[in-house]
Copies of this chain bind each other. A is one copy, B any other.
Amino acid sequence: MRVKLVVAYDGTNYHGWQIQPNCITIESELNRCLSELLNEDIQVIGASRTDTGVHSLGTVAVFDTNTRMPADKISYALNQRLPEDIRIQESVQCADDWHPRHCDSKKTYLYQIYSAPFPMPSFRLNMHFSYHQYDIDAMREAAAYLIGEHDFKSFCSVGTVAETTVRTIYDVKIESRKIPGVFIAGREGKEEPVVIQIYVSGNGFLYNMVRIIAGTLMEIGLHKYPPQQIQKMLEAKDRQAAGPTAPANGLTLYSYEFPEFSEKRS
């Protein structure tokens, strides 16, 4: 049978998703623990790859197995073997030919920025720290230009291997919230710490696309470019036209939806 997994991980201690020689990756840990558990050689197929240090609340992967263990019990047994920074959220049987990269999907990424005078240790693994203060309205105005179908060639790393650089972004939502009371008695002129969350949803993303979008929106939030510059960046179809790639630790694959997926009940 083919089993679909929803896999969450804190990417801090891994060299990303994809198997590489001499590195510990999410994929290598899944293959190792599944092979031990099921006593077969198991190789998972992931829906998408994340870079070193990027996190996930629910990536999707499938694998084929001859086991007689019910598919929905594999999550419990596998979590007993996996390191604590990887946890299966769900395991279900799917059609034998269902492939997570060959069907329609909606992916949402979350990029988190902690903007404050000093870093906050409890946020260090999941948020990019910046001592700058950002103009959130300018970032929101800029984000609106990204929505829709565009050629995102300017927003992917050079060397990307993809048939086309056209992608559709469904939504970009930017939230900003203060952390009340974190500081003792307000000092004059002292900025309050702010957590900025950028949610980007789309049908697919090019290599480093969300980190380049986040890095570009941050520069717009610092008034390095006006919001409407996004249009010119898209038109340029040149990586040099957009902003820098934001650091990996701020990025989390937030959710993955497959509108046409249906569980196979045996």
Contacts and interface: CB of A to CB of B under 8 A. Distances in A.
Nearest to A263: B187
Assembly stoichiometry (copies): 2
Interface in A74-131: 75, 79, 84-90, 92, 108, 117-122, 124-126
B255 A182 contact: yes
A88 B118 contact: yes
Nearest to A10: B121
Given A87-B119, A120-B57, A181 B108 contact: yes
Interface in A219-256: 252, 254-256
Given A87-B119, A121-B84, A122-B126, A257 B8 contact: no
A177 to B, nearest CB: 12
A8 B126 contact: no
B183 A89 contact: yes
A161 interface: no
B120 A184 contact: no
Contacts of A108: 181
A107 to B, nearest CB: 11
Given A57-B122, A120-B57, A122-B252, A6 B183 contact: yes
Nearest to A181: B255
Q: Which of A60, A108, A184 has the most CB of B within 10 A?
A: A184
Contacts of A184: 6, 58, 60, 90, 255-258, 261
Interface of A: 6, 8-10, 55, 57-58, 60, 75, 79, 84-90, 92, 108, 117-122, 124-126, 179, 181-185, 187, 252, 254-259, 261, 263
A-B pairs, 8 with minimum CB distance = A181-B255, A10-B121, A85-B121, A87-B119, A10-B122, A57-B182, A89-B118, A9-B121
6 contacts: A55-B121, A79-B119, A88-B118, A89-B182, A181-B254, A185-B259
Given A185-B259, A185-B261, 15 more contacts: A8-B121, A10-B122, A57-B122, A58-B182, A60-B184, A79-B118, A84-B119, A84-B121, A87-B121, A88-B118, A89-B117, A122-B125, A122-B126, A184-B257, A184-B261
